[in-house]
Amino acid sequence: MQNTRYKTGLTIAELLIALAMVAILLVAVAVAFNASAVNYQQNEAIFRTINSARQALFRMTSQLRTASAVKPDPNSPAECTMMTADGEDITYRYNAADNKLYLITNDDLTDSDYVLCENVTALTYKKTLTDDGLGCKSVQITITVKNGDVQQTVSGAAAIRRNLN
């Protein structure tokens, strides 16, 4: 009679196969995690760019609504000059060379211009003139921003309350 003993445990071949399967699963999880992290960073950058454009648009429309005067210059669609309710002479200017929107304080030319929004690919101010042509009734603003391959356009309009007569 032969004594058969069964050995318990794993052989080296079984252990190597199990290790290879675990390694494949870990690589798949790492690739998925990396893709998720890259996607999050891209979405975060896009959000910041679009949010910056929205904040700039809100600031401009708020100041336009309460402005005491807006320069009715139809020949400069990338620039809007106004006298604010506080008496400040300011200009919002889009510079296509560096893709930035600037706030320029015309009262103090020694200070630096303030960057309101970066990654701007297009910006227009469409001014509706008063009947006498000396002022603006309203201004429509369109800002297009781009980050990577994603491009978004935000628009707004403001009626100058002092010129609504």
pLDDT of residue 165: 60
Query: Distance between CA atoms of 155 and 57, rounded to whole angstroms?
Result: 8
Question: Is it the case that residue 3 has pLDDT exceeding 80?
Answer: no
Dihedral angle of Cα 32, 37, 38, 42, to the nearest 10 degrees:
140
What DSSP state is assigned to residue 63? H
Residue 80: exposure state from Cβ atoms within 10 A (0-12, 13-18, ≥19): buried
What is the arithmetic mean of pLDDT over 105-109? 82
pLDDT digits (tens, 9 = 90+) for 63-80: 999 999 898 887 788 999
Which has more confidence, 24 or 111?
A: 24
Spell out the domain ranges in the chain: 12-163
Cβ atoms of 14 and 22 closer than 8 Å: no
Cα angle 110, 113, 115; round to 5: 165
For the chain, list the strands marked E by DSSP. Answer: 69-70, 79-83, 89-95, 100-105, 114-118, 120-129, 136-147, 150-159
What is the arithmetic mean of pLDDT over 85-98? 93
pLDDT band for position 164 (cuts 50, 70, 90)? low
pTM of the model as a whole: 0.77
pLDDT digits (tens, 9 = 90+) for 13-59: 999 999 999 999 999 999 999 999 999 999 999 999 999 999 999 99
